[in-house]
Amino acid sequence: MSTSPALKKDQQLQNRARILVKCPDKPGIVSLLSSFLHTHNANIIASNQYSSDPEDGTFFIRIEYHCENLVGKRDAMEKEFAQLAKTHDMTYSFHYKAIRQRAAIYVSKETHCLMELLWEWQNGDLDMDIAVVISNSDVARPMVEALGIPYYYIPANKDIREQVEAQQIRLMEEFKVDLLILARYMQILTPNFVAHFESRIINIHHSFLPAFIGANPYARAFDRGVKLIGATSHYVTNDLDEGPIIEQDVERVDHRDDVATLKKIGQKIERRVLAKAVKWHLENRIIVEGNKTIVFH
Amino acid sequence: MSTSPALKKDQQLQNRARILVKCPDKPGIVSLLSSFLHTHNANIIASNQYSSDPEDGTFFIRIEYHCENLVGKRDAMEKEFAQLAKTHDMTYSFHYKAIRQRAAIYVSKETHCLMELLWEWQNGDLDMDIAVVISNSDVARPMVEALGIPYYYIPANKDIREQVEAQQIRLMEEFKVDLLILARYMQILTPNFVAHFESRIINIHHSFLPAFIGANPYARAFDRGVKLIGATSHYVTNDLDEGPIIEQDVERVDHRDDVATLKKIGQKIERRVLAKAVKWHLENRIIVEGNKTIVFH
Amino acid sequence: MSTSPALKKDQQLQNRARILVKCPDKPGIVSLLSSFLHTHNANIIASNQYSSDPEDGTFFIRIEYHCENLVGKRDAMEKEFAQLAKTHDMTYSFHYKAIRQRAAIYVSKETHCLMELLWEWQNGDLDMDIAVVISNSDVARPMVEALGIPYYYIPANKDIREQVEAQQIRLMEEFKVDLLILARYMQILTPNFVAHFESRIINIHHSFLPAFIGANPYARAFDRGVKLIGATSHYVTNDLDEGPIIEQDVERVDHRDDVATLKKIGQKIERRVLAKAVKWHLENRIIVEGNKTIVFH
Amino acid sequence: MSTSPALKKDQQLQNRARILVKCPDKPGIVSLLSSFLHTHNANIIASNQYSSDPEDGTFFIRIEYHCENLVGKRDAMEKEFAQLAKTHDMTYSFHYKAIRQRAAIYVSKETHCLMELLWEWQNGDLDMDIAVVISNSDVARPMVEALGIPYYYIPANKDIREQVEAQQIRLMEEFKVDLLILARYMQILTPNFVAHFESRIINIHHSFLPAFIGANPYARAFDRGVKLIGATSHYVTNDLDEGPIIEQDVERVDHRDDVATLKKIGQKIERRVLAKAVKWHLENRIIVEGNKTIVFH
């Protein structure tokens, strides 16, 4: 009896997982982890590692593995691994491909980043559920609701920040959101809000950070006469535009490009930089360490 | 009787010139300039223009032209043009291909940018005479003197800055230097020195400005965790690393790259960015306007 | 009495035009053209020129100009210019910004290029009317009709090519189409069809031409083990994938990328390369000369 | 007693190695290899793996490790590993950082690639000994001999190919050459010569392969009107320009660039593409599989 391709694909999804581990570097860790997986008949599909320093540094690894009947085995595996981790001072997390992350997308009036995310998502390139879209404008409602995604229009400004954030936090809980994507959501978040979602809020900033932190980066890039403009996706911390950088990219501009043109060119960069950052986050390719990221490709 | 290719090339050099003009924008300027050239039987080879605003803006144009017997005619042409320029409120300059600019290259211990310039120059890609190399180290002497270029080792530090600069200014005069290239010359220049050579000092800064102004940009880029590093060539003004940007470029880096690796990658960017800026300066492609550049390609 | 910004913008549109000229190179042409425009109180906004050889070559120029009351003057200007052109052996064309080109977009099952064009068009970045979309699939109908654009589903294959093309030609005439954009329309066109629309059909080919001409370029790129894949937009001629190239771009790939991944990466390249080519065509920046293009930036 | 930094660096060199393994993919291989290394107190510094297909595919891995007293232990380790490899059907190779590869550089009249390699080598970026330079021109002799590297001027053309190659093979043996770098050596090699050095000859081709295979790629790129030109480094096989590609890169060009300009732009691409390929080869990052390469970064 053979298996249909669709069923096979589904089983493959059920049997795929990733483990991320961080621990003090010392000989034998890869051996330990790979033996653990082998004992459970898991086949390593991909593996990336990094050590801040082979002597006395910190060791990071991401292993993607395939394991028959993973659903039946994973609780036992996790329990066993907890013991191992304790012995070797490991911080770790398991991620199962079959359990999709649930994302909330925050957006303001400019919808280009939202559109790119929706597009990639419809195209099957972003392995997440879009639980909800939150906006301080109503402009994106039709395109979002057309896809069957709930849309909440919550007017926001700095005077009502606390009520707005309280409502947003309730919605994040209600929709069981794992990841918040600020797709050009032009509001500053309070430390309280950020604390709720540590390393789970991805922002796109419309400059090549650390140049042009803060407001109006395109106008300031124009004034400075730079020859390249950029965009930066990063995790949000309480220091404005200072969080761990995930991805950056640039495009060439010249003296003829006015601020409006810079903005248009910049939108294309923002779209692709944010989409990449989200994709890598969903694939558990990113480890935040201090104020920097390790991104395993 | 036909002309040998070598002679033809030499004549072509003698008969090539460029004019740069800046004036208030209004209809008829291109007509005026092209008629002037046509009257003198000059053929326009290339022309680039830019207007900060077609209504009430400033107009900039670079015209490259070929003119038989230019040596015999150029004084008369310049004299006639002076009249025209006065009438139409033009700032302008004529540049003759046969009259090569004389450059001084300033360098410290790191010689990668110097080597790139020497290489491109030997390859015929930088249309200048290298009048002299100035360094606060003796390390580059052999490679420079091997090419027959005078080399001055002038130890420099901030305590003796004024004497050093006085000597340097004398050398610039003695060697009739038109252009100063700071090819990783790690000394700060005084306002007095800079004033002597306005818009004639090109520096290479080892970051993507305005990020990481000042010292140790690679170490700071590492600490910030950027995903691209860059280099910037600019004209030197009295605001450190704030002068008009000529060219910038970047390369991708990742979490595995330590400061030493960033430096090595950065050196490749510095080499090509500085060489481009110098080339464009020599071809009179750059107009400084305020704190920005217009670069005609 | 002052003018409202909206009215001003509209007048600006009415008063903007471009002229493209090709003629034997000789001194005085720029003077001639700029004097002609100046005589009619037209202000040159931008000008690009190229000569295949300053001696005995062919000269090409694109001039963008602003002229008050252009609508009232343009017939007289064109008539006068015809005389000038005859005298100086010029081929030329006038293009008025207020007269938008009418485009037909051809698409098959893969809609990523169509979507990019619709997006850029809605965003105001493609200065054209989309007269009609033609497809040999019905998949894109909803998104096209939602924008009020007529959609024709015309099944096509090589056996019925002639009838299909006859119908398509009728539609092009009916909809008064100036430009045909093959946004991944996977059908070969007959010489008869191509002849109807010389230098007016833009195709996107999913490889870095001349590598991988013909079918399945991604699979062949995979087999060859290239480290970059690309896309090429070009005018369609009767030699398959051999027409004048307008724009090309590439992205980095590696040994881990299978054909499906190459396709996904390639789609992003195709989208931006086709959009650029169409934009430049609409801005009359492209001159076809022999089997090559001059693209004025 | 502490160790001086210089001594420490030298010991580190002595204790660093890499192993490359290829075998049928099945669960447990990473576990096997990492346990083997751990048993010998080797610490894994970096590890990259790739599987052509997790089910029934071929598995490839590169592991870089550090092992105290490696010199004393390596024979025993290799002997033990041979047994393991036999059991698991592995093809493998050990590479010790302290044992530098010996390279021969082949060059013709154009020396830009040779110069780049010499530069990177002097800069400490290419971990090899340059055993000898072979050329069919005498032009590069001074710069090569100035660095104490033997230089052999062997005139070559297709009529005397066999004698020339016989002499070259003798020199390769005499100088114990591991790697042959064709740094723009414009001679075709016979199958006999190539067979002597399988997967050990790296060539730089001055086009973006598979476009413009064979002679005069820049002239043909000009004729085709491409908008990007490129260079490709690859291992040499008996199919001209058809060997496994290691690295490629491109630069933008436009209609104004004549063949000479394309050549100059191309030289910069050739320089960096060849230097990268050589560096990766020396770091044992490249595995040739069929007619493709796996390059572990």
Looking at residue A137, the DSSP 8-state letter turns out to be: S
Residue of D53, D213, D227, D235 to mutate for C, most C C-beta atoms under 10 A: D227
pLDDT digits (tens, 9 = 90+) for D4-27: 555 666 777 899 999 999 999 988
Tally C-beta pairs within 8 A across C and D. Answer: 75
Rg of the Cα trace of chain A? 21
Angle at D126 between CA D122 and CA D129, to 5 degrees: 80
Q: What integer is the mean pLDDT of C197-224?
A: 96
pLDDT digits (tens, 9 = 90+) for C23-51: 999 889 999 999 999 999 999 999 999 99
pLDDT at A3 over 80: no
Structure tokens that stand for D247 in this block: 């690295």
Look at D250 and C250 and tell me if their CB atoms are within 8 Å.
yes
Chain A residues whose beta carbon lies within 8 Å of the beta carbon of residue C272: 268
| Residue type for position B211 | A
D262: part of which helix (H) or strand (E)?
helix D259-282
Looking at residue B73, the DSSP 8-state letter turns out to be: H
Shortest CA gap B259–chain D (Å): 15
Q: Which residue of D has its CA nearest to B264?
A: D125
pLDDT digits (tens, 9 = 90+) for B282-293: 999 999 999 999
Burial of D52 (0-12, 13-18, 19+ CB in 10 A): middle
Q: What percent of chain A has pLDDT over 70?
A: 97
pLDDT at B6 over 70: no
Q: What integer is the mean pLDDT of B11-23?
A: 93
Residues of chain D short of pLDDT 50, as ranges, are 1-2
Look at B224 and A210 and tell me if their CB atoms are within 8 Å.
yes
Shortest CA gap D3–chain A (Å): 15
Shortest CA gap B220–chain C (Å): 28
Q: Which among C208, C245, C247 has the least Cβ separation from residue D208?
A: C208
pLDDT at A162 over 80: yes
Closest of A281, A175, A165 to residue A234, by C-alpha: A281
pLDDT digits (tens, 9 = 90+) for A127-151: 999 999 999 999 999 999 999 999 9
Q: Which residue of A has its CA nearest to B295?
A: A255
At B7, the pLDDT band (50, 70, 90 cuts) reads low
Chain D residues whose beta carbon lies within 8 Å of the beta carbon of residue B264: 123, 125
**Catalytic residue ranges of B:** 241
pLDDT at A2 over 50: no
Looking at residue A37, the DSSP 8-state letter turns out to be: H
In this prediction, residue B240 carries a pLDDT of 82
Give SS3 for A168. Answer: helix
Distance between CA atoms of residues B206 and B200, nearest Å: 20
Q: Which residue of B has its CA nearest to A250?
A: B250
Distance between CA atoms of residues D231 and D238, nearest Å: 19
Number of helical H runs and strand E runs in chain C: 9, 13
> N- to C-terminal Cα distance for chain D?
37
Look at C54 and B34 and tell me if their CB atoms are within 8 Å.
no
Burial of A85 (0-12, 13-18, 19+ CB in 10 A): middle
pLDDT digits (tens, 9 = 90+) for A258-295: 999 999 999 999 999 999 999 999 999 999 999 999 99
Distance between CA atoms of residues C16 and C13, nearest Å: 5
Closest of D219, D239, D244 to residue D229, by C-alpha: D219
In this prediction, residue A6 carries a pLDDT of 58
Check: CB of residue A147 under 8 Å from CB of residue A122.
yes
Distance between CA atoms of residues C149 and C171, nearest Å: 14
Chain B residues whose beta carbon lies within 8 Å of the beta carbon of residue D119: 115
| Beta-ladder partners of C252 | C228
Look at B54 and C45 and tell me if their CB atoms are within 8 Å.
yes
pLDDT at C4 over 80: no
| Residue type for position C99 | I
Chain B residues whose beta carbon lies within 8 Å of the beta carbon of residue A249: 228
Could you say which residues from 20 to 49 on chain D have a Cβ atom under 8 Å away from some Cβ of chain A?
A: 25-31, 34-35, 37-38, 41-49
Q: Is A208 in CB contact (< 8 Å) with chain B? A: yes
Q: Within 13 Å, how many C-alpha atoms sit on residue A214's CB side? A: 1
Closest of B20, B17, B24, B19 to residue B87, by C-alpha: B24
Tell me the backbone φ, ψ of residue B55, rounded to 5 degrees. Answer: -105, 115
pLDDT at C124 over 70: yes
Structure tokens that stand for A37 in this block: 């997986």
Closest of A178, A152, A150, A154 to residue A165, by C-alpha: A154
Q: Give the number of residues written for chain C.
A: 297
- DSSP string for residues in D110-133: --HHHHHHHHHHHTT-S-EEEEEE
pLDDT at B189 over 50: yes
Alpha carbon distances (Å) from D216 to A240, B246, C224, D114: 54, 34, 21, 20
pLDDT digits (tens, 9 = 90+) for A78-119: 999 999 999 999 999 999 999 999 999 999 999 999 999 999
Residue B226 CA, distance from chain mean position: 29
| Residue type for position C234 | H
- DSSP string for residues in C116-165: HHHHHHHTT-S-EEEEEEEESSSTTHHHHHTTT--EEE----GGGHHHHH
Look at C226 and D248 and tell me if their CB atoms are within 8 Å.
yes
In this prediction, residue C10 carries a pLDDT of 73
Instruction: Identify whether C138 is a catalytic site residue.
Output: no
Look at C43 and B49 and tell me if their CB atoms are within 8 Å.
no
Check: CB of residue D198 under 8 Å from CB of residue D178.
no
Looking at residue C65, the DSSP 8-state letter turns out to be: E
In this prediction, residue D5 carries a pLDDT of 52
Could you say which residues from 56 to 95 on chain A have a Cβ atom under 8 Å away from some Cβ of chain D?
A: 66
In this prediction the ipTM stands at 0.94
Q: Which residue of D has its CA nearest to C228?
A: D248
Chain A residues whose beta carbon lies within 8 Å of the beta carbon of residue C119: 115
Look at A125 and C264 and tell me if their CB atoms are within 8 Å.
yes
More confident residue, C144 or B157: C144
Looking at residue B63, the DSSP 8-state letter turns out to be: E
In this prediction, residue A7 carries a pLDDT of 60
Q: Is B259 in CB contact (< 8 Å) with chain D? A: no
Closest of B294, C78, D31, B238 to residue A39, by C-alpha: D31
Structure tokens that stand for C178 in this block: 């100036």
In this prediction, residue D6 carries a pLDDT of 58
Looking at residue B158, the DSSP 8-state letter turns out to be: G
- DSSP string for residues in D137-193: SSTTHHHHHTTT--EEE----GGGHHHHHHHHHHHHHHTT-SEEEESS---PPPHHH
Q: What integer is the mean pLDDT of C265-287?
A: 97
Chain B residues whose beta carbon lies within 8 Å of the beta carbon of residue A226: 209-210, 245, 248
C293: part of which helix (H) or strand (E)?
strand C292-295
Q: Is D125 in CB contact (< 8 Å) with chain B? A: yes
Chain C residues whose beta carbon lies within 8 Å of the beta carbon of residue B38: 27-28, 30-31
For chain C, list the contacting chains (3+ Cβ pairs, <8 Å).
A, B, D
> N- to C-terminal Cα distance for chain C?
38
Q: Which residue of A has its CA nearest to B292?
A: A225
Q: Which among C245, C256, C291 has the least Cβ separation from residue D227?
A: C245
Shortest CA gap A127–chain B (Å): 24
* Mean of per-residue pLDDT scores for chain C: 94
Q: What integer is the mean pLDDT of C195-222?
A: 96
Place of tokens 């800069």: D123
For CA atoms B173, B175, B179, B180, the dihedral sign is negative
Residue of D119, D269, D273 to mutate for B, most B C-beta atoms under 10 A: D119
Tally C-beta pairs within 8 A across B and C. Answer: 60
| Beta-ladder partners of C180 | C104, C201
pLDDT at B4 over 70: no
Look at C208 and D209 and tell me if their CB atoms are within 8 Å.
no
- DSSP string for residues in B233-267: EEE--SSTT-SPEEEEEEEE--TT--HHHHHHHHH
In this prediction, residue A4 carries a pLDDT of 56
In this prediction, residue B168 carries a pLDDT of 97
pLDDT at A121 over 70: yes
Look at A264 and C125 and tell me if their CB atoms are within 8 Å.
yes
In this prediction, residue C157 carries a pLDDT of 86
Whether the bond into D217 is cis, omega within 30 of 0:
no
Alpha carbon distances (Å) from C133 to C147, C177, C200, D232: 11, 11, 16, 40
In this prediction, residue C5 carries a pLDDT of 53
In this prediction, residue D150 carries a pLDDT of 98
Distance between CA atoms of residues A59 and A50, nearest Å: 6
- DSSP string for residues in D179-246: EEEESS---PPPHHHHHHTTT-EEEEESSSTTTT-SS-HHHHHHHHT-SEEEEEEEE--SSTT-SPEE
| Beta-ladder partners of D238 | none
**B142-159: b (≥16 Cβ within 10 Å) or e:** eebeeeebebbebebeee
Chain D residues whose beta carbon lies within 8 Å of the beta carbon of residue C245: 224-227
Shortest CA gap B79–chain A (Å): 32
Place of tokens 């070969």: C188
Rounded to whole angstroms, the maximal C-alpha distance in chain B is 69
**A242-257: b (≥16 Cβ within 10 Å) or e:** ebbbbbbbbeebebeb
Place of tokens 């399945």: C216
Q: Is B264 in CB contact (< 8 Å) with chain D? A: yes
In this prediction, residue C56 carries a pLDDT of 84
Check: CB of residue C202 under 8 Å from CB of residue C233.
yes
Check: CB of residue A276 under 8 Å from CB of residue A234.
no
Burial of C42 (0-12, 13-18, 19+ CB in 10 A): buried
pLDDT at B158 over 70: yes
For chain B, list the contacting chains (3+ Cβ pairs, <8 Å).
A, C, D
